[in-house]
Amino acid sequence: MPRQFSAIAFTPAVKAMQEKMGSRENYERFVAKGPDNNTINSDLERFISSMEGFYLGTVTSNGYPYIQFRGGKPGFLKIIDERTLGFADFRGNVQYISVGNLSENDKAFLFLMDYRHRRRLKIIGRARIVANDPIILDLVQDTDYEATIERAILFEIEGWDWNCPQHIPLRYSAAEVEVMETRIKELEKLLTEAKNSTNLRS
């Protein structure tokens, strides 16, 4: 269990519940010997760069969590440096709930789910809005996506943890399904040709 993630997630109330349910001793040992997990390693870099979406969690001023899905082509969540992620924020439904939350509370959470390989990554940290910095805006821009960026959101990693793969349903993206369908058609064609060849020799 990573130290930095647990230092934030394991609040006194969480520790009390772990103690009550009998898991506190195990977690205490894992956390004491666990890695910091607050920088991006090669495994995380590959995983993050392959994602077509993630869930962004922010906190409202009245204390409620707010979760929003962000999607794009693989690589739209940019790795700025070993501790920082960033993404472009485009005009949407103009509710500005996530942006409003971050304007007064920078605590945030990213949840990345890979249904195909049953992997999920939790990243906890702090996020800030960047609206008037052309260098940052250029870093998060995808050149083949022409929508106007209203702002960038930079996410400073404080800790990350891989979540248990249990109970993750196996799902495929539309692109993956298209590749499989193409391959199935190719195999069906080869099978038909093989059968016809066999019949001709009979």
Per mean pLDDT, which range of 5-14, 143-152, 154-163 is the poorest? 143-152
CATH superfamily for 37-171 is Electron Transport, Fmn-binding Protein; Chain A (2.30.110.10)
What is the average pLDDT across 117-123?
94
Helix %, strand %, coil % for the chain, to 5? 40, 30, 30
What is the average pLDDT across 18-44?
90
Residue 18 pLDDT exceeds 90: yes
Mean pLDDT across the chain = 92
Give residue 105's pLDDT. 97
Query: Percent of the chain beyond pLDDT 90?
Result: 72
Per mean pLDDT, which range of 9-13, 80-84, 129-133, 196-200 is the poorest? 196-200
Give residue 202's pLDDT. 63
Give residue 165's pLDDT. 84
pTM of the predicted model, to two decimals?
0.86
Q: Tell which wins on pLDDT, 191 or 29.
A: 191
**Which token pair is 113?**
């789910």
Residue 112, SS3? strand
The domain locations on the chain are 1-35, 37-171, 173-202
**DSSP state, residue 95:** -
Q: Tell me the pLDDT tens digit for each residue of 168-186.
A: 888 888 888 999 999 999 9
pLDDT band at 157 (very low <50, low <70, confident <90, very high): very high
Which long-range contacts does 109-113 make (Cβ < 8 Å, 24+ apart)? 109/56, 109/57, 109/58, 110/54, 110/55, 110/56, 110/57, 110/85, 110/155, 111/54, 111/55, 111/57, 112/47, 112/48, 112/51, 112/54, 112/55, 113/53, 113/54, 113/55, 113/168
Q: Tell me the pLDDT tens digit for each residue of 43-62.
A: 999 999 999 999 999 999 99
Give residue 143's pLDDT. 83
Q: Are 149 and 90 in contact (CB under 8 A)?
A: yes
Give residue 198's pLDDT. 78
Q: Tell me the pLDDT tens digit for each residue of 62-111.
A: 999 999 999 999 999 999 999 999 999 988 788 999 999 999 999 999 99
Q: Tell which wins on pLDDT, 32 or 15.
A: 15
